[in-house]
Amino acid sequence: MAVSQFSAATSTGRSEALLTRSGLLGGGLGSRGSKSKVLLMRTWISRPVTVRRCFSVNSVSSDSNQTLKDPITQEEASTAHSSFTLDAASIASSIKYHAEFTPLFSPERFELPKAFFATAQSVRDALIINWNATYDYYEKLNVKQAYYLSMEFLQGRALLNAIGNLELTGAYAEALRNLGHKLEHVAIQEPDAALGNGGLGRLASCFLDSLATLNYPAWGYGLRYKYGLFKQRITKDGQEEVAEDWLEMGNPWEIVRNDVSYPVKFYGKVASGSDGKRHWIGGEDIKAVACDVPIPGYKTKTTINLRLWSTKALSEDFDLYAFNAGEHTKAYEALANAEKICYILYPGDESMEGKVLRLKQQYTLCSASLQDIIARFERRSGANVRWEEFPEKVAVQMNDTHPTLCIPELMRILIDLKGLSWKEAWNITQRTVAYTNHTVLPEALEKWSLELMQKLLPRHVEIIEMIDEELIHTIVSEYGTEDYELLEKKLKEMRILENVDLPSAFADLFVKLKPKESPVVVPSEELENSEDAVDPVVVPSEELENSEDAVDPVVVPSEELEISEDAVEPIDEEDGSEKTVNQETKMELPEPVPEPPKRVHMANLCVVGGHAVNGVAEIHSEIVKDEVFNAFFKLWPEKFQNKTNGVTPRRWIHFCNPELSKIITDWIGSEDWVLNAEKLAELRKFTDNEDLQTQWRAAKRNNKLKVVSFLKERTGYSVSPDAMFDIQVKRIHEYKRQLLNILGIVYRYKKMKEMSVAERKSKFVPRVCIFGGKAFSTYVQAKRIVKFITDVGATVNHDPEIGDLLKVVFVPDYNVSAAELLIPASELSQHISTAGMEASGTSNMKFAMNGCILIGTLDGANVEIRQEVGVENFFLFGAKAHEIAGLRKQRAEGKFVPDPRFEEVKEFVRSGVFGSYNYDELIGSLEGNEGFGCADYFLVGKDFPSYMECQEKVDEAYGDQKRWTRMSILNTAGSYKFSSDRTIHEYAKDIWNIEPVKLL
């Protein structure tokens, strides 16, 4: 939200006018004449506009919990609070006002969609007042501010969250009831904002909630995707992708800032000016326009901002001449190229066009956001801009490698536009930027084609080359030049530019350092047509084409070297044959090895360019230090940190599970746990209390009943609320091992079919196995897994012999709103990734908070969750992270012996019991010892027997409901560590160096 440009008096009058107009102060449409105030918002006192209002400003350094006070007396404030109350009548007036005067619907009827938009706009009016006051205060204090850059923000629905944070849920419910609607019916009209995909985006949204709630000065920056990732449909063929329609009816929460836009350039060339500076000129120019979304804190006036960039071309880029000539596509080409940047989250990148679009997206986010941040810094600095103070006012957090271009872009702006030296700019950049690593998967550690980047961002490549050269200097200084092999190894691991020749400054050095080894003489009898002995001539390997990895010199016959151009006869034009003077001694040289691609290693650039690198769970951070970035960790150990992820207890217990929330509050004795999650641990005192256990089970069953209705509506399947609800909902990926889960279900089904009715009922606990998640549109194997799950469900769910003993349901288009229903109803949740491959996970935290028991491997945050909830309250199975490499090696050597049960279940799938679809490719990926797509890389077969034995323990525990309920309570009690409030406090203290700033 841009800071107010008016005087405080004008700001006061504007806010009063806004409230009066919208009905939040007396006099609105339908008002009963009641006076009102905005609860937990800035209290405005009516007074002549000639009286200037001002803010008292305290030094941030002297008070870590800053407060804003109006220069009005306590008596005035007390009078203000007693004179104004925000009640249902004034809220109803506000809603009616928006239904009539800011309509997106026809005026005839006040139906649910219209009621939602009018209600949301009413809430937004209330938020805007706090929003303006928050940033007016930040502007005046000139506090250090954190900026969180992420390609994803998976917000979910905003209405209930906003009114909950404002503590107005009851008032809005009554107002809507008086207008003929129920709040819950109105709320479900809101589509989920399609700005993210999975845990990365949901984490970013939890962080914004915590930042606002804890009063930290911060903004989020992202892109405004018109069509999101995709909307998932499930058909007989499996997953089908269609465009998201979340913006079709508009977005009542956002405010487009047409006056806040920045130029973004692509292509062009770099030239040296008469001033000696490098100038990026020509190319394709677009503009990024800001769209702001308010993010309110809980029980605080602080309302921060999520600024999303949309892209467009200038009007002058529309070719009117071409359009009038009938060349309509050509006329609109520049506009379409600009707008499509923000069409889709993660466009497919198998084509060159897709790669270009992804890189454009990443640069747009970085460039527009940094220009905005720098403009704010300059404005707050006034006439005397001191660039060395930039890191003392700005902290930029890169959420994964997508915003890596922040580093060369900040350098470019500081050097090319602000006139700083390289040394000054590099010092500022490194002190400003920090990087969160979210993955150890090679495909997610981005590497961009150097050629592509040179075309699209030529100036940035120059800067990256200079950063790479600076890094080489550092490596040579650190490791010296005595041990050539060590130095070569470090350069290969750590350089930003991959498969790129060393800069000229180092080329001579490495020629001198390269060890001289004895020539390897190839026996003459091994050379073709070499019956006559010839004297060998040694040729250094670096002179041979495509032999970067060669170390030993290669020997070829001297005659071959003596053949010059003049010694080769011209090609005979009739038969095209090429003849040489010395046909008898001609050696056929091997086919040239393709030159390895030159790439930019973005993760290495993040580590080099930032002052902090953090993993997102204890085990993940250790893997980051020991494996992923071990060479950097040895060089700069002080850079590396752990910040275990967290989720907001407001959305993920208090709002989405109100029954459980009330039980927790009643037994703890206060609602303090919502802001201080450590209070959840007090539940441990009551775990064996029968009254608590009875209430706990009743709340779980009521949540399950909601899911029964939801599943019937979304899938057509009827399930029993008396069965265990066993849920795995997350992005579909081989390493997350939905395949292990469904094969376990298939084995369970097979065993049931082999038993009598009485046997299966005594042996198995009834289960509803629920899946949800999206497979990336080009990830063929993941889409096969979705198809397999739905086929298994179609067979099992219609088997009269099995009935309610086993159901398998795939929830289409899983999103935040679906999670808010499924997670409170869950009893067992599966977090079963191959150990060492899941960075953290956040859904595991949400499930534990809601009293769900986890079955999982020692991976990601599972390790810490198990420690906190108690090892006896977590179902553990599978290989450990340190064993994985050895197990894969064992497989490659052909030493793996599969469990007979695993072979049995594969044959059962191949028998065709689940339909006519050919699953050879899917099952084949679990077989063999090597090869792409084979050899069971994710160790499904290895962990299968351990998994099935663990599932037997689950059945046994669930059969004792008193024991199960105790485990459930202890999961909620032990989840306090996984509040995003704790995580944000750690980021603020250890990485960003920012302090809370509270408005009173």
Q: Where in the sequence numbering do the catalytic residues fall?
A: 438, 730-731, 736, 842, 846
Pure H helices in 188-281: 199-213
The helix/strand/coil state of 350 is coil
Give DSSP secondary structure letters for 514-563. Answer: SPP-PPBPPPGGGSTT--S---EEEE-GGGSTT-TT--S-EEEEHHHHH-
Q: Which residues pair with 855 in a beta bridge?
A: 830, 875
Q: How far is CA 376 from the centre of its chain?
A: 26
Contact 494, 631 (CB under 8 A): yes
Q: How crowded is the C-beta side of 839, counted as CA atoms within 13 Å?
A: 26
Q: Which of 839, 749, 759 is nearest to 798 (CA)?
A: 749
Give DSSP secondary structure letters for 649-715. Answer: HIIIIIIT-HHHHHHHHHHHSSSGGGT-GGGGGGGGGGTT-HHHHHHHHHHHHHHHHHHHHHHHHHH
Q: How far is CA 821 from the centre of its chain?
A: 22
Helices and strands in the chain: count of H runs, count of E runs: 38, 26
C-alpha 389/C-alpha 381 separation (Å) is 10
Q: Which residues pair with 270 in a beta bridge?
A: 280
Contact 990, 210 (CB under 8 A): no
Q: Which of 312, 373, 378 is nearest to 145 (CA)?
A: 373
Give DSSP secondary structure letters for 419-445. Answer: ---HHHHHHHHHHHEEEE-----GGGS
Contact 212, 303 (CB under 8 A): yes
Name every residue whose Cβ is closer than 8 Å to that of residue 471 and which is 6 or more positions away in sequence.
Answer: 494, 495, 496, 608
3-state helix, strand, coil in the chain (%, to 5): 50, 15, 35
**Tokens describing residue 326:** 């009938």
Q: Is 104 exposed, middle or buried (0-12, 13-18, 19+ CB in 10 A)?
A: middle
Contact 541, 551 (CB under 8 A): yes
Q: Is 32 exposed, middle or buried (0-12, 13-18, 19+ CB in 10 A)?
A: exposed
- Determine the length of the chain: 1000
Matching residue, tokens 């198809």? 787
C-alpha 319/C-alpha 325 separation (Å) is 10
User: Distances in Å between the alpha carbon of 772 and those of 232, 718, 735, 912?
Assistant: 10, 17, 16, 24
Start-to-end Cα distance in the chain: 19
Give DSSP secondary structure letters for 238-250. Answer: EEEEE---TTTT-
Pure H helices in 554-647: 558-562, 602-609, 618-623, 630-635
∠ Cα 127 128 132 (to 5°): 120
The Cβ of residue 114 has, within 10 Å, a number of other Cβ atoms equal to 23
The helix/strand/coil state of 817 is helix
Contact 154, 647 (CB under 8 A): no
The helix/strand/coil state of 292 is strand
Q: Which of 748, 775, 737, 773 is nearest to 855 (CA)?
A: 737
